[in-house]
């Protein structure tokens, strides 16, 4: 039996309007029961007055009393659901208020504050329930990490318990501090913190399903003090295993197997020639390849830290160069898949808006991106993966298009010394979890199945893989 959990993500994985609709129907049911109780009392009164049938009045009174008691239950449940909906709406409104304040939209912020005040006045316990829900959601993740730390270090005398506690505190702090939430595209060091894409003029395209399209922007200026040697990419021959995956993409597990990194390649670009003209692209991005900082390979720890801190990196420049080299035009539909650092890079592409990113799939991402509500966002996570744990609890609100979800499980429930090698973070383990999602009948996977069918109709698929070099850095 699989322990795979598929959820809509965030602390609010429910539809508040649906909760209120259910509450309304429960109240209506309670009213009907009350009406039945009234009729039963009328029968009892009439039978007692006429004395025509002995015992009918007693039975009717018994039925009326039972109906009154039954009517109280749906009314109480409806009130509880209304309170729960108010708490979840408060969580949503808090996120919206923070976004409005960050954007400098004072009018929107005041309107949200008014709605929050009305909710808190009508439902005095809603704010406390919202706080409890968010705290529980943020603090739940570190438990598995702490258990795994203890299992991995049991053989070190006196160290298992301190390490377990320290691990839990560390990852719990990441969650509570709100780290790991990518709310804007990475910016160049020294650039304004505001997302440039938010202020750039955008174009609307009829029938457009992906994120907001923005006019292509010039490459960022070289920050002061940075080396002048540019980051470069070059096409490389695919490995034998990669060459086998040359047909249309068929699922999440298939996508995980196409993520490069085992050899020279760091970015894989597939161009799909669609029936009737037009093309789409699928992009697969490798994770961190070296723990050194500032190596010739831009997919190193330095790029990792820059991306996690909200800055642009040489690896992000590599991905953008690979897309241009492959002929992917700004505004072209793109589906991005990334593992680890590659997941951060994929998220950055979805946030930038240069390309029409329609699908974002991440494996073991250390961040969760607040992508537009037109981008299908799918996160594959292992609760015993320390790298995925750096995402904290992500965003309190759900992100992405309807049908977006997070699929999560414990990759290695037994735990042990192997956890010190970050086995739960490997792309092979994530491919196993992805296969479970592919086999799932969860209705949220329907949008992905539609994507596989769409790409499967392509007339041809062209594959190019790219290595990357940081230049003189």
Q: What's the pLDDT tens digit per position in 49-68? A: 555 555 565 665 666 676 66
Residues 6+ apart with CB under 8 A from 428: none
Query: If you average pLDDT over residues 434-438, what whole number do you get?
Result: 96
Range of the domain at 33: 15-129
Question: What is the rounded CA–CA span in Å between residue 140 and residue 320?
Answer: 36
Distances (CA, A) of 470 to 227, 296, 349: 10, 5, 19
Domain count, the chain: 2
**Closest Cα partner for 263 from 295, 241, 296, 233?**
241
Give the pLDDT score at 207. 34
Q: Do residues 307 and 450 both lie within one domain?
A: yes
Question: What is the rounded CA–CA span in Å between residue 132 and residue 87?
Answer: 10
Residue 432 lies in a domain: yes
Global confidence as pTM: 0.65
Residue 10 lies in a domain: no
Q: Do residues 86 and 182 both lie within one domain?
A: no
Q: Do residues 287 and 424 both lie within one domain?
A: yes
Give the pLDDT score at 238. 79
Sheet bearing 232-236, strands edge to edge: 5-7, 405-409, 376-382, 356-363, 333-339, 279-285, 267-273, 460-469, 232-236
Q: Do residues 446 and 354 both lie within one domain?
A: yes
**Closest Cα partner for 255 from 313, 337, 138?**
337
Which segment of 32-41, 179-188, 264-273 scores lowest on mean pLDDT?
32-41
> Sign of the CA dihedral 181, 187, 191, 196?
negative
Q: Do residues 125 and 235 both lie within one domain?
A: no
pLDDT score of 224 more than 50: no
pLDDT score of 176 more than 50: no
Q: Do residues 248 and 379 both lie within one domain?
A: yes
Tell how far CA 94 is from the center of its chain. 18
Q: Summarize pLDDT for 6-52 with one digit per residue, the tens.
A: 877 655 555 566 667 777 877 777 777 677 667 666 666 665 555 55
Q: Summarize pLDDT for 250-261 with one digit per residue, the tens.
A: 999 999 999 998
Q: Do residues 111 and 182 both lie within one domain?
A: no
Half-sphere exposure of 141 (CA within 13 A, CB side): 28
Environment class of 222 (CB within 10 Å of its CB; exposed 0-12, middle 13-18, buried 19+): exposed
Virtual torsion, Cα 208, 455, 270, 333, nearest 10 deg: 0
Give the pLDDT score at 308. 85
Give the pLDDT score at 67. 63
The mean pLDDT of the chain is: 75
Q: Where are the alpha helices (DSSP H) in 141-237?
A: 142-152, 160-177, 196-199
pLDDT score of 378 more than 70: yes
**pLDDT higher for 347 or 94?**
347
Question: What is the rounded CA–CA span in Å between residue 287 and residue 299?
Answer: 7
Residue 78 lies in a domain: yes
Give the pLDDT score at 16. 64
Q: Do residues 75 and 182 both lie within one domain?
A: no
Give the pLDDT score at 49. 58
Q: Do residues 267 and 326 both lie within one domain?
A: yes
Q: Taking each helix axis as running N to C, give the angle between helix 126-139 and helix 56-103, from 0 to 180 degrees, rounded to the nearest 10.
A: 70
**pLDDT higher for 120 or 167?**
120
- Most confidently predicted of 101-115, 168-182, 236-250: 101-115
Lookup: tokens for 415: 């735990």
Give the pLDDT score at 385. 84
Give the pLDDT score at 142. 47
Percent pLDDT > 90 in the chain is 31
Phi, then psi, of 103 in degrees rounded to 5: -85, -5
CB contact burial 251-260 (16+ within 10 A = b; e otherwise): bbbbbbbbbb
Query: If you average pLDDT over residues 322-334, what whole number do you get?
Result: 94
Give the pLDDT score at 79. 79
Query: If you average pLDDT over residues 143-153, what whole number do you get?
Result: 48
Q: Do residues 116 and 182 both lie within one domain?
A: no
Residue 306 lies in a domain: yes
pLDDT score of 439 more than 90: yes
Query: Hey, how many other C-beta atoms are within 10 angstroms of the C-beta on 289?
Result: 21
Residue 139 lies in a domain: no
Residue 137 lies in a domain: no
Lookup: tokens for 387: 């790298």
pLDDT score of 153 more than 90: no
Q: Do residues 296 and 381 both lie within one domain?
A: yes
Q: Do residues 99 and 182 both lie within one domain?
A: no
Helix (H, G, I), strand (E, B) or coil at 461: strand
Residue 1 lies in a domain: no
pLDDT score of 233 more than 90: yes
């Amino acid at each position: 039996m699989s322990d795979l959990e598929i959820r809509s993500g965030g602390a609010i994985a429910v539809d508040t309007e649906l909760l209120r609709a259910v509450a309304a129907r429960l109240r209506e049911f309670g009213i009907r029961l009350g009406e039945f109780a009234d009729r039963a009392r009328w029968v009892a009164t009439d039978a007692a007055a006429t004395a025509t049938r002995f015992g009918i009045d007693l039975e009717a009174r018994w039925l009326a009393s039972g109906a009154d008691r039954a009517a109280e239950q749906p009314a109480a449940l409806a009130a509880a659901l209304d309170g729960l909906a108010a708490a979840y709406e408060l969580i949503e409104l808090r996120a919206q208020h923070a976004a409005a304040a960050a954007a400098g939209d004072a009018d929107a912020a005041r309107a949200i504050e008014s709605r929050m005040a009305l909710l808190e006045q009508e439902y005095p316990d809603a704010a406390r329930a919202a706080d409890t829900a968010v705290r529980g959601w943020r603090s739940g993740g570190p438990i598995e990490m702490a258990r795994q730390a203890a299992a991995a270090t049991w053989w070190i005398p006196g160290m298992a318990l301190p390490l377990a506690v320290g691990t839990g505190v560390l990852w719990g702090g990441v969650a509570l501090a709100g780290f790991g939430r990518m709310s804007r595209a990475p910016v160049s060091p020294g650039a304004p913190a505001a997302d440039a894409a938010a202020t750039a003029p955008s174009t609307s395209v009829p029938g457009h399903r992906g994120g907001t399209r923005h006019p292509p922007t010039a490459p960022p200026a070289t920050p002061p003090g940075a080396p002048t040697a540019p980051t470069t990419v070059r096409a490389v021959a695919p490995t034998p295993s990669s060459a086998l995956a040359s047909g249309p993409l068929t699922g999440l597990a298939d996508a995980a197997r196409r993520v490069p990194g085992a050899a020279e390649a760091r970015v894989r670009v597939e161009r799909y020639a669609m029936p009737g003209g037009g093309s789409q692209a699928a992009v697969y991005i490798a994770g961190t390849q070296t723990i050194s900082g500032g190596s010739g390979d831009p997919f190193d720890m330095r790029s990792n830290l820059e991306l996690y801190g909200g800055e642009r990196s040489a690896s992000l420049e590599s991905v953008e160069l690979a897309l241009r080299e492959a002929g992917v035009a700004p505004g072209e539909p793109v589906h991005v898949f990334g593992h680890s650092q590659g997941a951060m890079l994929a998220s950055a592409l979805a946030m930038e808006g240069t390309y029409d990113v329609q699908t974002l799939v991440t494996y073991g991402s250390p961040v969760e991106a607040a992508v537009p509500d037109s981008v299908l966002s799918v996160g594959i996570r292992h609760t015993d993966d320390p790298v995925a744990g750096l995402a904290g609890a992500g965003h309190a609100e759900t992100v992405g298009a309807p049908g977006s979800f997070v699929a999560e499980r414990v990759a290695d429930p037994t735990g042990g010394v192997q956890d010190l090698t970050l086995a739960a973070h490997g792309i092979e383990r994530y491919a196993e979890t992805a296969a479970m999602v592919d086999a799932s009948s969860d209705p949220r996977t329907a949008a992905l199945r539609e994507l596989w069918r769409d790409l499967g109709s392509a007339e041809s698929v062209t594959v190019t893989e790219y290595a990357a070099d940081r230049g003189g850095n």
